[in-house]
């Protein structure tokens, strides 16, 4: 496990924060960053409206401290984000455990870049797929694996199958076992990360922003 990484096996839920660097347009507009990392778990938010001449508030702290399981600064590379959040999950998945990586944030926060990245600098999803299939190959003599994928969008509380958009909106149904499922969602069998990539661009381009 990478140095300083979170022991995910001891946590059912772990929250990491990534601070996006300012864009060129934001810099040109005079914007300044208010989020500062203290260490790899604490971030400080400065008050952008703080008035240095406000005598009544002069002795009050204008900073807000937040603690996370992991904090990544603006210059943190994709590989470090992946290595310290998701990489350790791959062996658990091949051992039969469920795992979810959920990116949350406002529009423009950098979710797509973090998850998908670019061809030159892949994000979490691409790196996870590569490692997953490599782990399956490494343990193929002792195990038999079956991999299938679905690709859906939840937008304004409506669910759409991005692998089969013409099916319209889908409903959530409760299975007899008590598990909640998306009724009618498409599943595509896949044997490699390359096969996953052939499905992803079309579905990704049709998703809402």
With a CB cutoff of 8 Å and minimum separation 6, the contacts of 82 are: 123, 124, 127, 128
Q: Determine if residue 167 is labeled as part of a ligand binding site.
A: no
Please measure the distance between the N-terminal and C-terminal CA atoms of the chain and give it in whole angstroms: 35
Determine whether the annotation assigns residue 49 to a binding site. no
Is 176 marked as binding a ligand? no
- For the chain, give the longest Cα–Cα distance: 71
Q: How many CB atoms lie within 10 A of CB 151?
A: 21
Any binding-site annotation on 117? no
110 is in an annotated binding site: yes
Residue 168, annotated as binding a ligand: no
DSSP state of 110: S
Are 15 and 35 within 8 A, CB to CB? no
- CA dihedral defined by 11, 108, 152, 183, rounded to 10 degrees? 80
DSSP-derived pairing of the beta strands 180-182 and 16-18: unpaired
If 0-12 CB within 10 Å is exposed, 13-18 middle and 19+ buried, where does residue 129 land?
buried
Binding residues: 105-112
Positions at the binding site for ATP: 105-112
């Amino acid at each position: 496990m990478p140095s300083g990484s979170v022991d995910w096996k001891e946590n059912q839920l772990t929250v990491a924060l990534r601070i996006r660097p300012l864009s060129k347009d934001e810099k040109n507009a005079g914007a300044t960053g208010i989020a500062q990392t203290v260490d790899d778990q604490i971030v400080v938010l400065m008050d952008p409206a703080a008035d240095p001449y406000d005598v009544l508030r002069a002795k009050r702290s204008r900073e807000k401290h937040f603690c996370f399981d992991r904090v990544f600064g603006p210059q943190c590379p994709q590989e470090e984000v992946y290595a310290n959040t998701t990489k350790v999950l791959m062996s658990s998945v091949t051992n039969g455990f469920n795992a979810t990586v959920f990116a949350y944030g406002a529009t423009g926060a950098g979710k797509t870049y973090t998850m998908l990245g670019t061809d030159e600098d892949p994000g979490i999803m691409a790196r996870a797929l590569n490692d997953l299939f490599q782990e399956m190959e490494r343990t193929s003599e002792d195990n038999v694996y079956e991999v299938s994928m679905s690709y859906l969008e939840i937008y304004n509380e409506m669910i759409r199958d991005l692998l089969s958009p013409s099916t319209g909106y889908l409903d959530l149904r409760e299975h007899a076992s008590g598990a909640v499922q998306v009724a009618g969602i498409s599943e595509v069998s896949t044997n490699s990360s390359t096969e996953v990539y052939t499905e992803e661009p079309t579905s990704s381009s049709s998703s809402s922003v």
